[in-house]
Amino acid sequence: MSTIIEPFRIKSVEPIFFTTKEQRAVVLEKAFYNPFLIRADDVMIDLLTDSGTNAMSSAQWAGIMIGDESYAGSNSFFHFEKAVQDITGMPIIIPTHQGRASEKILFSIIGGKGKYIVSNTLFDTTRANIEFSGAEGIDLLCPEGKIPSVPAPFKGNMDVEALEKFIIEKGAVNIPLCMVTVTNNSGGGQPVSMQNIRDVKQICGRYGITLFIDACRFAENCYFIKLREKEFANTPIPAIVRELFSYADGCTMSAKKDAIANIGGFIALRDEDLALKCRNLLIITEGFPTYGGLAGRDLEAISIGLYEVMDEHYLQYRIRSIEYLTEKLIAEGVPVMQPAGGHAVYIDAKVFLPHIPSHQYPGQALVGALYREGGIRSVEIGSLMFGKYDDEGQLIPAMMELVRLAIPRRVYTQSHIDYVAEIIIKVYREREKIKGLKITYESPTLRHFTAKLEEIS
């Protein structure tokens, strides 16, 4: 097969500022070994997130120019509403400024003490919003999703047997909502199959539980369905997307991912009563229902991006570039989540750094090493992000210690990716030199964003 090329030309570029290893060692220490505290100019290849870091197309920039900034009834809102209705098949569309704003509104209404929200895996902001409402978030991921080294086609699937067991145990009245995250970001960017969504829908239907989709990466998930679920081999992506959403009562979305925009989000749903409650909260927290937390120009960029993301040449290049990096690492023995996910490569830091125990945060230590060696910024998805303390103050480690290298959409070329692979392989060969970390400051919620750490000598 010939090389899969980037399906775009580059019209506008941004400079990368080069730094030396010595300079980066100083920056890292001053940032307390926390990538969120490093200035972007001090980063050479920024793989911290694929969220809001997308390169917009010339068509989206043209959309920015025609944005209608009217407070009420903006033309851009009607473009946005039509696009989201068309893609999801859902009638009611509520714009928000980003994914977590949608979550905050939704869970303020349906969450609360004594309630459980079940999921394949909740993203950290989703879980935080659920817990903030007083409810409890429950992850019921399929067993194969929990073993990074074992490949399987749909490692993001929900464990449907565990779901039904949980419903029977806790009572359906205490479970107002089931949220399926596509793709499963915290579990390696792994997809959920259409069959799994159908099975989950059937169980939710049987017990009268509302089914929502966390739709951040819906197009990437649907491309995996096309590649891996025989039934869909010849189905166009928009039709797969429509079917996926057809099983859901609603969805929350961060347009910073698969709408290829820099900001934005929405709630889409079918229930007029729930929509009314959402809009009431929206007006207090985000804005009037025809702009949510967004400018008219953002609504335009999102409506255009939502169609661009479903282009199969784009999706082929997107998924292939992640797979390409994964393959290079596997060839050199670097332990990575297999198979490659949709938006990121996940390194298994537990296996990469066997000499660093969970309470010394191997993932965060590896994040630091990649930055120091090559100016690459990544993020820990492990015990710093998800760890909790028991009654004696001992760390309860996360299920996995992963380091995520999230690839921004349409931003980096193949040679950037080659460079990333070279740096990771170099760090892997010298891995025994990497030291564990200890926390010197942490906040009570979402501590990874602001935590300060130092090296244990």
Interface with ligand F0G by CB under 6 A: which residues?
49, 51, 98-100, 123, 125-126, 181, 185, 214, 216, 254, 256, 265
Based on CB atoms, which residue is closest to ligand F0G, 157 or 360? Answer: 157
Distance between CA 309 and CA 222 in Å, rounded? 11
Q: How far is the CB of 265 from ligand F0G (least distance, A)?
A: 5
Phi, psi at 414, each rounded to 5°: -60, -35
State the nearest-atom distance from the C-beta of 244 to ligand F0G, in Å.
15
Question: Which amino acid, residue 237?
Answer: I
Min dist CB 51 to ligand F0G, Å, is 4
Name the minimum Å distance from CB 121 to ligand F0G. 9
The smaller minimum CB distance to ligand F0G, of residues 19 and 125, is found at 125
Q: Give the nearest distance from C-beta 15 to ligand F0G in angstroms.
A: 24
Question: What is the smallest separation between the CB atom of 257 and ligand F0G, expressed in angstroms?
Answer: 7
Count of C-beta atoms within a 10 Å radius of residue 327: 14
Task: Return the number of the residue (96 or 358) whose C-beta is nearest ligand F0G.
Answer: 96
Position closest to ligand F0G via CB: 99
Considering beta carbons, is residue 265 or 375 the nearer one to ligand F0G? Answer: 265
* Residue 100 vs 226, nearer CB to ligand F0G: 100
Shortest spacing between CB 123 and ligand F0G, in angstroms: 3
Smaller CB separation from ligand F0G, 214 or 249? 214
By beta-carbon proximity to ligand F0G, the closer residue of 175 and 381 is 381
> Residue 318 corresponds to which amino acid?
R
Taking the least distance from each CB to ligand F0G, the nearer of 86 and 124 is 124
Please report how close the Cβ of residue 251 comes to ligand F0G at its closest, in angstroms: 11
